[in-house]
Structure 1
Amino acid sequence: MANITAAQVKQLRDMTDSPMMECKKALVEAEGDMDLAVDILRKNGLAAAAKKAGRATNEGAIGAYVSENGTLGAIVEVACETDFVGSNPTFTGFAAKLAQHVAETEPASVEELLASKMDGETVEAALTELIHIIGENMKITRFAVRKPEHGGVSTYIHMGGKIGVIVEFSFEKPETATTDAFKTFAHDVAMQVAATAPICAVREDVPAETVEHEKSIYMAQAAESGKPEAIQEKMAVGRLEKFYKGVVLNEQEFIKDSSLTIAKYAEQVSKEAGDTIAVRGFDRLARGEA
């Protein structure tokens, strides 16, 4: 039997909002496996949706860039030691400039980005110089570039750089990117991604292992009802549909108007713009998260 510590019990309780004794029982049953213990609590109907735990505490900022014609964009995370530096205009200005460089050069990795030239010197040299000027350790942690063949992009920076989002849209007419209707819609969708942290834009992009994992939880919950298997299956499928509506961007309720989903909102804007607009994908970087 695994030796379960008080710290493990507290961690599980913080992650799930479940009673302490139930957390201990789940950890014992799971032999100390935290992820398995969360599943046990969920199957028993005791756990709230598991909170993300163990987030990195790095400070920093996320910079964003979108080209003038709205068809190319990037976001990049630059980490530092303190929140004070993370909000320093020199630091945030560097992050924004770096985002433009990332968009225009499309590096394959952080290492390639560091070795690339920006204003006549390598990005690594520019970062080292900034470290010397500000007097705090810094590093470029990750980035995302979006360049749709037929469509546009929108970015949104939340809480002074704590969360950065870039969303990719498809449409047929190049002029759609510059219409007020699209710009408002694109901004709203980027804000939605920042606020709700969906998994993906469309149902088909939800990883198969995630779907199977969730369905196994719902089947176990339905089995507790004692109802016939056919009913249990329907119960599980119903819960899976609810799961999709929570994590798939296009199926989420629009936070500014609950009578609309994001997909329905896209249909409305398409009619207004005289084009077919759809949300195709996004990247969401939350500062300090892996």
Structure 2
Amino acid sequence: MAEITAALVKELREKSGAGMMDCKKALQENNGDVEASMDWLRTKGLSKAAKKSDRAAAEGLVAGKISADGKTGVLVELNAETDFVAKNDQFQSAAREFATVALGVDGDAEAIRAAKTSKGEVVQDAITNLIATIGENMQLRRAARISVANGAVAIYLHNKQGDDVAKLAVLVALEGAGDAAVLADVGRKIAMHVAGTPTPPLALNSDELDPEVVAKEREIQTQTAMESGKPREIAEKMVEGRIRKWQEEVVLLKQPFVMNPDQTIEELIAETAKQTGSPVSVKGFVRFALGEGVDKGPEGPDFATEVAQMSGAS
């Protein structure tokens, strides 16, 4: 039997993303053949994949793509249990492939999971196979698609982990009949603003704010005003003023542009319209930050234990 060295185990782990002891076992079963061990990991893992579905998956990647004509953009969030897996080539390739699939699917994450990859494999089946090979729970958590009839959709990937994949991604759609290259450039700058501003925008304008979010803010401001001891009529006026100020802070068009704080995004759009000689409007934006809103639950796999166990491979 071939000698199963730590270096060989490390090579298989980096290629497959599977755990150290699983990689060692696979190599032992396949006489040190890395490719055969990859197949072994996948075959043995299929029966275990369903058992992993209740484990928290808050790590992973956001993948983004823009269509060839520049008028459609998509984001998909593919989650795994650990950041280690997010660096795996197979995982990153899958995220990119699912984003490509999303460009051709006019639907949500469920529709994408039911669609087929370029290899003819159903996306959900591809995810199951990844779980089987790598040994962690994974899920295509969410997806977004935005298009314009005329104009451009721009993308910005923050904290990139590879081609088309990052920890945070933003799409911005600008509608207009002017130079698409100019619109794409301005759109990307606005996307960078959405990614980097200290107060991420909650909506494009005040009319699009979630009524429940507005009501909660109003409740907070009312309570604060009443505790100040002001008469009710004055307190109510204070609340209205604070709500207007808060709305300007959390809606994209009213925010100061991070690249030029003396100019709002709304003013930047007006300037762009003059530059292109045609009306320009922000049709919409999407911001995906990896794992936001996910209950991470118990801690994931203990890799320190795996390293200690690995001392037997030499």
What is the TM-score normalised by the length of structure 1? 0.72
1:184 aligns with 2:189: no
Q: In structure 1, the residue corresponding to 2:179 is in which secondary structure?
A: helix
The reply to whether residue 163 of structure 1 matches residue 154 of structure 2 is no
Q: Is the 8 A contact 1:73 1:100 kept in 2?
A: no
**Aligned twin of 1:249:** 252
Q: CA deviation at 1:217?
A: 2.1
How far apart in 2 are the matches of 1:94 and 1:63? Answer: 9
Q: CA shift at 1:82, angstroms?
A: 1.5
Decide which structure has the larger Cα Rg and report it. 2
- Distance in 2 separating the partners of 1:234 and 1:57: 46
**Alpha-carbon deviations, 1:171-216, whole Å to 9, x = none?**
2x1x532x2x322211111112222421111110012232232223
> Are 1:116 and 2:115 matched, yes or no?
yes
Comparing 194-203 and 225-234, the one that deviates more: 225-234
SS in 2 for 1:145: strand
Q: Which residue of 2 aligns with 1:195?
A: 196
How far the C-alpha of 1:228 sits from its partner, in A, is: 4.3
1:86-113: CA deviations, max 9, x gaps? 1233322321221121121223442x32
DSSP-derived class of the 2:203 partner? coil
- Structure 1 partner of 2:280: 277
- Between the aligned partners of 1:204 and 1:138, the Cα distance in structure 2 is 36
Residue 237 of structure 1 and its aligned partner are, at CA, apart by 1.9
SS in 2 for 1:136: coil
Conserved? CA contact 1:62–1:75, under 8 Å: yes
Secondary structure of 2:104 counterpart: helix
Mapped contact 2:108–2:144 kept (Cα < 8 A): no
Rounded to whole Å, the distance in 1 between the matches of 2:57 and 2:135 is 19
Q: Which moved more, 1:217-226 or 1:260-269?
A: 217-226
Counterpart residue number, 1:32 = none
Match of 2:137 in 1: 137
Per the TM alignment, residue 268 of structure 1 is displaced from its structure 2 partner at its CA by 1.0
Unaligned runs of 5+ in 1: 1-55
User: Secondary structure of 1:191's match?
Assistant: helix
**Secondary structure at 2:148 match in 1:** coil
For the 8 Å contact 2:174–2:183, the answer to whether it is kept is no
Q: Give runs of aligned pairs for residues 7-156 of structure 1, distance below 5 A.
A: 58-110=58-110, 112-119=111-118, 120-156=120-156
Counterpart amino acid of residue 123 in structure 1: V
Is 1:176–1:275's contact at 8 Å kept on the other side of the alignment? no
Deviations 1:35-61 (A, max 9, x none): xxxxxxxxxxxxxxxxxxxxx761100
Task: Determine the C-alpha separation between the residues in 2 that align with 1:288 and 1:77.
Answer: 8
Q: Does the aligned pair in 1 maintain the 2:61–2:86 contact within 8 Å?
A: yes
Deviation at 1:76, TM superposition (A): 0.1
Aligned position for 2:270:
267
Instruction: From 224, 227, 248, give the equivalent of 1:224.
Output: 227
Q: Deviations over 1:205-242 (max 9, x none)?
A: 01223223222322232233444444323321221122
Q: CA–CA distance in 1 between the matches of 2:116 and 2:191? A: 30
Letter in 2 for 1:247: V
2:275 alignment partner AA: E
Contact 2:76-2:99 at 8 Å conserved across structures: yes
Amino acid in the other structure paired with 1:67:
S
Q: Partners in 2 of 1:259 and 1:72 — Cα distance?
A: 31
Distance 1:115 1:227, change over 3 A: closer
Check whether the contact 2:77–2:142 (CA below 8 A) recurs between aligned residues: yes
The one-letter amino acid paired with 1:158 is H
Task: Indicate the percent of aligned positions where both proteins have the same amino acid.
Answer: 35
Count of aligned pairs between the two proteins: 230
Residues 57 and 79, structure 2, Cα contact 8 Å, conserved in 1: no
How far residue 142 of structure 1 moved from its aligned partner, in angstroms, is: 0.7
- State the Cα distance separating 1:81 from its structure 2 match: 2.0
CA distance in 1, matches of 2:204, 2:128: 37
- Cα distance in 2 for residues equivalent to 1:128 and 1:212: 42
CA shift for structure 1 position 260: 0.7
Determine if contact 2:73/2:103 at 8 Å carries over to the other structure.
yes
